[in-house]
């Protein structure tokens, strides 16, 4: 099953590496080129990283791809380790950040079997990668490599949104995605399981993405973002959201939950 996803990300990595080599100025952060409506949740994700990651810390990103959303952690001056199952994607990430003096390590790694010792990192990051591994195994691996009082910060999509599920199902029918990645789209049960780290907070976004998009031709980007945030805060809940951002802190001394 992973072979199809690996092939897909190898192809994406090749395409991105070719683009990078033809660019005079490399794009360090994909955030600027996101659609207005998508910037809202990523702004929250970046804010949590900025508030949490400090210069002296060791940071791990799982499923980093070509480093689209790695720059916030790297720019903090922390020692960042980028991991992915696709070596070609990692090569593209290396090219993206080649002129940066920051200490960046690149490691070919499966998030279900991270090649690091217990309590190796102060912060673990994930941007849209949780559906690429068995949830229990990945959660346990994140817990294992995190230091006590360390943080896991992630951004991802939610399983219960029918529009998002239909979109991924179409990709499955076209043999562009595996069934595993569709069945593993994060859900509320998974989010709640991270509360067993000891402390957890989550934020939900995109409940009114369909409504706000109606105004994209007449409102500026800033106004679209403000409108979406206003509607989410006033009416939205986790049952209607498209995306979530989560931060969990490892303060639970009881490891028994890792077998559940």
Which H or E run includes 8?
Answer: helix 2-21
Domain boundaries, the chain: 2-252
Average pLDDT, integer, range 149-165: 83
What band does 192 get if pLDDT is binned at 50, 70 and 90?
very high
Q: Name which of 162, 160, 152, 250 is nearest 202 in CA terms.
A: 152
pLDDT value of position 161: 62
Q: Is there a contact between 193 and 228 (Cβ–Cβ < 8 Å)?
A: no
3-state SS string for 108-156: ECECCECCCCCCCEEEEEEECCHHHCCHHHHHHHHHHHEEEEEEEEEEE
- Specify the higher pLDDT residue, 209 or 69: 69
Q: Is the pLDDT of residue 61 over 80?
A: yes
Q: What are the pLDDT digits (tens) for 11-56?
A: 989 999 999 989 888 888 887 777 766 788 898 999 999 999 999 8
Q: Name which of 136, 137, 126, 130 is nearest 182 in CA terms.
A: 130
Q: How far is Cα 36 from Cα 49, in angstroms, rounded to an integer?
A: 20
Percent with pLDDT over 70 in the chain: 81
Q: What are the pLDDT digits (tens) for 194-243?
A: 999 999 999 888 766 655 566 666 777 677 667 766 766 666 556 667 88
pLDDT value of position 200: 95
Q: How far is Cα 129 from Cα 62, in angstroms, rounded to an integer?
A: 7
Average pLDDT, integer, range 3-11: 81
Q: Is the pLDDT of residue 255 over 60?
A: no
State the chain's mean pLDDT as an integer.
Answer: 85
pLDDT value of position 169: 77
- Specify the higher pLDDT residue, 37 or 108: 108
Average pLDDT, integer, range 168-176: 74
Q: How many CB atoms lie within 10 A of CB 233?
A: 8
Q: Name which of 41, 95, 103 is nearest 73 in CA terms.
A: 103
Name residue, tokens 């945030």: 229
Average pLDDT, integer, range 107-128: 96
Q: Is the pLDDT of residue 120 over 90?
A: yes
Superfamily of domain 2-252 in the CATH hierarchy: Vaccinia Virus protein VP39 (3.40.50.150)
Joined tokens for residue 13: 């990595």
What sign results for the dihedral spanned by CA atoms 133, 139, 143, 146?
Answer: positive
Percent with pLDDT over 90 in the chain: 48
Burial class, 71, CB count within 10 angstroms (exposed 0-12 / middle 13-18 / buried 19+) = buried
Q: Is the pLDDT of residue 170 over 90?
A: no
């Amino acid at each position: 099953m992973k072979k199809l996803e690996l092939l897909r990300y190898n192809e994406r990595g090749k395409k991105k590496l070719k683009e990078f080599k033809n660019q005079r100025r490399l794009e360090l952060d994909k955030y600027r080129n996101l659609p207005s409506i998508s910037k809202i949740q990523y702004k929250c994700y970046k804010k949590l990283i900025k508030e949490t990651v400090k210069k002296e810390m060791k940071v791990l990103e799982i499923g980093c791809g070509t480093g689209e959303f790695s720059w916030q952690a790297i720019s903090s001056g922390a020692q960042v380790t980028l991991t992915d199952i696709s070596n070609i994607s990692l090569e593209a990430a290396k090219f993206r950040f080649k002129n940066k003096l920051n200490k960046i390590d690149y490691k070919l790694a499966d998030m279900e079997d991270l090649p690091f010792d217990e309590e190796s990192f102060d912060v673990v990051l994930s941007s849209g990668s949780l559906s690429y591994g068995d949830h229990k195994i990945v959660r346990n691996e994140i817990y294992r490599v995190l230091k006590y009082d360390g943080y896991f910060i992630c951004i991802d999509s939610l399983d219960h949104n029918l529009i998002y599920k239909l979109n991924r199902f179409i990709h499955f029918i076209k043999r562009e995605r595996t069934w595993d990645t569709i069945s593993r789209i994060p859900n509320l049960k998974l989010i709640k399981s991270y509360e067993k780290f000891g402390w957890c907070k989550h934020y939900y976004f995109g409940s009114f993405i369909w409504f706000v998009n109606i105004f994209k031709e007449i409102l500026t980007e800033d106004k679209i973002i403000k409108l979406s945030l206003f509607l989410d805060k006033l009416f939205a809940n986790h049952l209607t959201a498209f995306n979530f951002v989560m931060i969990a802190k490892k303060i639970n001394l009881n490891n028994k939950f890792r077998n559940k």
